[in-house]
């Protein structure tokens, strides 16, 4: 399957750079888009990046995005990544404003993908605002192939942003596509981040790309060849942990093996070894 994906708007600091709140739409749309493309390629799909960085106006950005999408003549689906605004909840009220995905009409072949993406993102804890329709949005109206526009979450809702992580959001979008088109996300081995000690001097967290707002949380991650589990606040877990109804053993020793996922290697469950990226372990 051939797919295009792009981040909406110009880069931050330029005209037509999108919404700004607790996070910046343009920056985060690009972070999510890059990861979505990487995940789709890893799942053996052909994925093109149609992001535009040199628009002279909002209409010019949109026209150039549409032209790039339409230039890929064998495209079967176009994905447009955006973030919403208008919640005006900068301190948080305990409720997310949520996610939604736009398609051109109820008859659009992109609708099933949009529904799957909404479902996957809402499973992260966001309110599911559902699939919506628009005949006026340029990327939906002017592209030649089925197109969907993802509003990942709200940049000005503190509850949304507490949940938000670019990698996890991208994973939900990619998995939504694969739920319909077929295939599964292949585990990625992360080597580009850094381990940081928490303020309490005991716990650890893992930061991506030197960005304190982009870190591992709420899932298993493959890091430097081993599997680690992080809670919803981003702290690495250790010891015997109940996660999504399953029990996992994460090395409790405070040394270089701390937090690594372990498995038993004999019938009595006494001997253990570390689970590596290449092992057959699957969570859940």
Q: Does 165 share its domain with 239?
A: no
Higher pLDDT, 278 or 176: 176
Is position 283 within any domain? no
Measured distance CA(222)–CA(277) in Å, rounded:
6
pLDDT band at 188; cut points 50, 70, 90: low
- pLDDT digits 0-9 by tens, 75-125: 999 999 999 999 999 999 999 999 999 999 999 999 999 999 999 999 889
Greatest distance between any 2 Cα atoms in the chain? 67
What CATH number has the domain bearing residue 98?
Answer: 3.40.630.40
Which residue range forms the structural domain that includes residue 69?
2-181
- For Cα atoms 140, 174, 49, give the angle at the middle one, nearest 5 degrees: 60
Q: Does 115 share its domain with 173?
A: yes
| Beta strand extents in the chain (DSSP E only) | 2-7, 46-49, 77-84, 99-103, 128-133, 147-154, 189-190, 194-197, 204-208, 211-215, 219-223, 226-230, 239-243, 246-250, 261-264, 272-274
- pLDDT digits 0-9 by tens, 204-232: 999 987 778 888 888 888 898 888 999 98
Q: Coil, strand or helix: which one is 171?
A: helix
- pLDDT digits 0-9 by tens, 25-42: 999 999 999 999 999 998
Residue that finishes a domain, picked among 155, 181, 207: 181
Higher pLDDT, 282 or 183: 183
Residue that finishes a domain, picked among 146, 181, 216: 181
Measured distance CA(141)–CA(59) in Å, rounded:
13
Q: Does 32 share its domain with 95?
A: yes
pTM for the whole structure:
0.73
Q: Does 198 share its domain with 176?
A: no
Please enumerate in sequence order all residues whose Cβ is within 8 A of that of 30, keeping only pairs 6 or more positions apart, or say none. Answer: 7, 11, 51
Q: Does 100 share its domain with 204?
A: no
**What pLDDT, on a 0 to 100 scale, did the predictor assign at position 262?**
84
Q: Does 42 share its domain with 65?
A: yes
Residue that finishes a domain, picked among 151, 181, 211: 181
Q: Does 228 share its domain with 168?
A: no
Measured distance CA(132)–CA(115) in Å, rounded:
10
Tally the domains of the chain.
2
DSSP state of 24: B
Closest CA to 220 of 234, 230, 211, 206: 230
Is position 279 within any domain? no
Strand partners, 272: 264
- Average pLDDT score, the chain: 90
């Amino acid at each position: 399957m051939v797919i295009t994906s792009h981040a909406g708007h110009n880069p931050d600091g330029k005209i037509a750079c999108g919404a700004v709140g607790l996070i910046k739409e343009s920056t985060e749309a690009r972070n999510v888009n890059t990861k979505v493309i990487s995940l789709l390629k890893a799942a053996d799909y052909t994925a093109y990046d149609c992001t535009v960085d040199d628009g002279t106006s909002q209409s010019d950005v949109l026209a150039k995005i549409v032209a790039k999408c339409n230039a890929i003549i064998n495209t079967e689906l176009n994905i447009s990544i955006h973030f919403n605004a208008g919640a005006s909840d900068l301190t948080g009220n305990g409720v997310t404003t949520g996610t939604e995905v736009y398609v051109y009409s109820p008859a659009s072949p992109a609708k099933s993908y949009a529904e799957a993406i909404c479902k996957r993102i809402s499973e992260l804890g966001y309110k599911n605002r559902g699939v919506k329709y628009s005949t006026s949005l340029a990327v939906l109206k002017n592209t030649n192939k089925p197109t969907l526009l993802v509003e990942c979450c709200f940049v000005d809702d503190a509850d949304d942003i507490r949940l938000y992580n670019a990698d996890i959001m991208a994973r939900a979008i990619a998995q939504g596509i694969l739920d319909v088109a077929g295939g599964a996300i292949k585990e990625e081995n992360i080597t580009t981040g850094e381990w940081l000690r928490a303020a309490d001097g005991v716990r650890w967290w893992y930061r991506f790309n030197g960005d304190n707002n982009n870190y591992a949380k709420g899932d298993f991650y493959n890091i430097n060849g081993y599997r680690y589990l992080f809670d919803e606040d981003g702290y690495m877990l250790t010891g015997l942990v109940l996660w999504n109804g399953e029990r996992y053993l994460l090395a409790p020793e405070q040394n270089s093996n701390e937090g690594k996922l372990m498995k038993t290697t004999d019938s009595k469950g006494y001997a253990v070894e570390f689970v590596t990226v290449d092992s057959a372990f699957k969570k859940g």
